A and B are shown apart, each in its own frame.
Chain A
Amino acid sequence: MLVSILHRATGDGMALVGTIVFVWWLAALAGGEATYAGFVDTFTVSDGRLNILGYVIGIGMTWAFFQHLASGIRHLVMDTGAGFELRTNKTFALLTIVFSILATIAFWAYLLAGK
């Protein structure tokens, strides 16, 4: 049940917050260097690193994506009628959370330290 709620929360969260940031990012890029600097300033400190808002939205959106991806695949499998045995279902549900956390850590480790 938690994973089902997470699927809706991450989906709706990305649909609202993710869409606004994504469209703002594209429009700011199209607007030129000055408008893009305004976008970047909102999410970074003066030396170019992300500020708290940047980290909350950045990490939040990547985790939401990986969680929604994993629980979405879980739903596609369940659509076929498979995976409804209690033990299998619970294992698959927990695995979506394990995957989303590990994938988020891997993504940000690469971005901040791996490059």
Chain B
Amino acid sequence: MGNGTPLGRVRGLGAAKEGTHHWWHQRLTAGGNLLLILWFVISIARLPAYDHATLTAWISSFWVAIPLALIVINTFYHFRLGLQVCIEDYSHGPGRIAWIVLLNAFVLVAGAIALFSIFSIAFSAGAAA
């Protein structure tokens, strides 16, 4: 077996040698979001109260802290891909690179704060109980 015909080797790759992973990851994370955010919206609605004690006790549960952390990973990745498409559609020229860098910084900083907050609540509430 050889390496295929020249046409076979380049078919579907294009100049970037890839191209479908952005589209595919958007779909994969969409499925995750469907489950995670539905869980989040229904759980929030069903909480008895929204004071500090109720919410921190709620987040300190394994069954809440883990899905919340998964939201930060899955949903943030999903919206990072989505906002990238938006920037690519409307921003042309050198400014586009600045927007993409700003987007990556926004996602990483927001994600780090969110994850630290979730684990901080989960671990400190566990220690106090």
Chain A residues at the B interface, C-beta cutoff of 8 Å: 8, 11-12, 14-16, 19-20, 22-23, 26-27, 29-30, 32-33, 36-37, 40, 62, 65, 69, 72-73, 76, 79, 107, 110-111
Chain B residues at the A interface, C-beta cutoff of 8 Å: 27, 30, 33-34, 37-38, 41, 45, 50, 52, 55-56, 59, 68, 76, 79, 82-83, 86, 106, 110, 113-114, 116-118, 120-121
Which chain B positions have C-beta within 8 A of A14? 79
Known: A14-B79, A65-B37, A76-B30. A107 touches B45 (CB 8 A): yes
B34's partner among A36, A40, A69 (CB-CB below 8 A) is A69
Chain B contact surface mostly: helix
- Contact status B86-A12, CB under 8 Å: yes
- Contact status B83-A15, CB under 8 Å: yes
A22's partner among B45, B106, B114 (CB-CB below 8 A) is B114
Number of A-B contacts (CB under 8 A): 66
User: In angstroms, how far is the closest chain B Cβ from the Cβ of A54?
Assistant: 11
Chain A contact surface mostly: helix
- Contact status A29-B59, CB under 8 Å: yes
- Contact status B52-A72, CB under 8 Å: no
